[in-house]
């Protein structure tokens, strides 16, 4: 299916916080109970709708392990959104957020939207980081915040979609230069201002016949 916009995301954060699980829950609606260490990066994609417009999310799930840090840095530039994830049951993953944020700010374009995510909210009995702490950190650094569970799927959709909403608003406000692909945003083929068909919404109904797949 064709899209109005395409956004590139990255997911970052310590190893084991549930980055790959969040992506899997979002793209496949599945949960993976075993920790399958990500090597390098893995790609995933899904279509969402915002303001009636189909938006394609292309998501790069990075490896949290220290050894892959320099590879991860190659993905900051060129991403429009980032999900910065920590694990509410492991305080050290929360403590590392400043390092992650510094890395992100240093290597990304200044408009990148960062969503802070406290994952594994289903494990409330093992909680080490209070929700208020997450909120405070987000407020202090100008991030959007949510607690999620990749296991029960709570807030997972919203985490990805709300990030897209913020990006979408920034586009409407003219903050993003949408013609610069290095910002991690692309305009859909049918939606570019130069195309004669203009902004005809193709959302939802009926696949177009030719390139009618995804």
Partner 1 sequence: MEYFKSSLKSVLGSASVENEPSGADTVERLVDRLQSSTLLNDRRDACRALKALSRTYRVEVGAQGMDALRQILEMDRTDCEIIGLALDTLCNITSPKTFDEEVDKHGPNNKVGEQFTEIFIKNADSVGLVLALLEEFEFKVRWPAIKLLMHLSTNRLKDIQEIILVSPMGVSKLMDLLGDSREVIRNDVLLLLIQLTKGNANIQKIVAFENAFDRIFDVIAQEGNVEGGIVVEDCLLLMLNLLRGNISNQNFFKEGSYIQKLTPMFQISSEHDDNPLSTWSPQKVSNVHCMVQVIRALVAPSGPAQAVSNCQRIMRACGLLQALCNILMASGVPADVLTETINTVAEVIRGNSSNQEFLAEVMAPSNPPRPAIVVLLMSMVNEKQSFALRCSVLYCFQCFLYKNEMGQSQLIQTLLPQGNEVPSLTTGQLLCGGLFSSDSLSNWFSAVALSYALIEDNTQKEQLLRVLLATNIGKPPVTLMQQCVMLLQQGSKAQCKLGLLILLCRWTAHCLAAVKSFLLIDSSIAYLTALLSSQENNDDLQETLLQSMCAMLIGLCVHFNDNSISNYTKEKLCNLIENRIGLERFQDAIGGLARHEVYSRTLKHPQPSAKNPSELLLDHEFCRLSKTLEGVIIKSVLDGSSLHQKNEIATPILPDSVLITQYKDVIREQSSQIQKLNQLTESLVKEKNELEV
Residue 166's SS3 state is: helix
Q: In Å, how far from its chain's centre is CA 157? A: 10
The size of the chain, in residues, is 214
Q: Does residue 123 touch ligand GTP according to CB under 6 A?
A: yes
Q: Does residue 213 touch partner 1 according to CB under 8 A?
A: yes
The minimum distance between CB 88 and partner 1, in angstroms, equals 29
Question: What's the 3-state SS for 92-146?
Answer: HHHHCHHHHHHHHHHHCCCCCEEEEEEECCCCHHHCCCCHHHHHHHHHHHCCEEE
The minimum distance between CB 64 and Mg ion, in angstroms, equals 7
- From the list 13-21, 102-110, 159-167, 170-178, the region that binds ligand GTP by CB under 6 A is 13-21
Query: Contact letters (x/-) for Mg ion, 7-46, by CB under 5 A?
Result: ------------xx-----------------x--------
Query: Contact letters (x/-) for partner 1, 81-120, by CB under 8 A?
Result: --------------------------x-------------
Asked if 166 contacts 113 with a C-beta cutoff of 8 angstroms, the reply is yes
Residue 145, token pair as written in the block? 């915040």
Q: Does residue 21 touch ligand GTP according to CB under 6 A?
A: yes
Which residues, 6 or more positions from 196, have their beta carbon under 8 angstroms from its beta carbon?
none
Q: Does residue 35 touch ligand GTP according to CB under 6 A?
A: yes
Query: Contact letters (x/-) for partner 1, 41-60, by CB under 8 A?
Result: xxxxx----------x-x-x
Residue 35 binding partner per list partner 1, Mg ion, ligand GTP, none, with a CB distance cut-off of 5 to 8 Å that depends on partner kind: ligand GTP
Q: Does residue 83 touch ligand GTP according to CB under 6 A?
A: no
Look at the block and give the residue holding tokens 């991030």: 143
Question: Diameter of the chain by CA atoms?
Answer: 57
Task: Let me know how many helices (H) and strands (E) the chain has, helices first.
Answer: 6, 7
Q: Does residue 16 touch ligand GTP according to CB under 6 A?
A: yes
What distance in Å separates the CA atoms of residue 44 and residue 59, rounded to the nearest whole number?
A: 5
List of residues contacting Mg ion (CB under 5 A): 19-20, 38
**Which residues contribute to the site for ligand GTP (CB under 6 A)?**
15-21, 32-38, 63-65, 119-120, 122-123, 149-151
């Amino acid at each position: 299916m064709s899209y109005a916009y395409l956004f590139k995301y990255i997911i970052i954060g310590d190893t084991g916080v549930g980055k790959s699980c969040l992506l899997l829950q979002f793209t496949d609606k599945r949960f993976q109970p075993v920790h399958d260490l990500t090597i390098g990066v893995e790609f995933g994609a899904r279509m969402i709708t915002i303001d009636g417009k189909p938006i394609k999310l292309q998501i790069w799930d990075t490896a949290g392990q220290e050894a892959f840090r320099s590879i991860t840095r190659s993905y900051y530039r060129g991403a429009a959104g980032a999900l910065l994830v920590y694990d509410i049951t492991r305080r050290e993953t929360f403590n590392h957020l400043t390092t992650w944020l510094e890395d992100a700010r240093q290597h990304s374009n200044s408009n990148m939207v960062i969503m802070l995510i406290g994952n594994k909210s289903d494990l409330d009995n093992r909680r080490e980081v209070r929700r208020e702490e997450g909120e405070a950190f987000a407020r202090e650094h100008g991030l959007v915040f949510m607690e999620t569970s990749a296991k029960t799927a709570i807030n997972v959709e919203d985490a990805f979609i709300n990030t897209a909403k913020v990006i979408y608003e920034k586009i409407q406000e003219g903050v993003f230069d949408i013609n610069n692909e290095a910002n991690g945003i692309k305009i859909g083929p049918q939606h570019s201002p130069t195309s004669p068909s203009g902004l005809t919404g193709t959302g939802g109904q009926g696949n177009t016949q030719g390139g009618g797949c995804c």
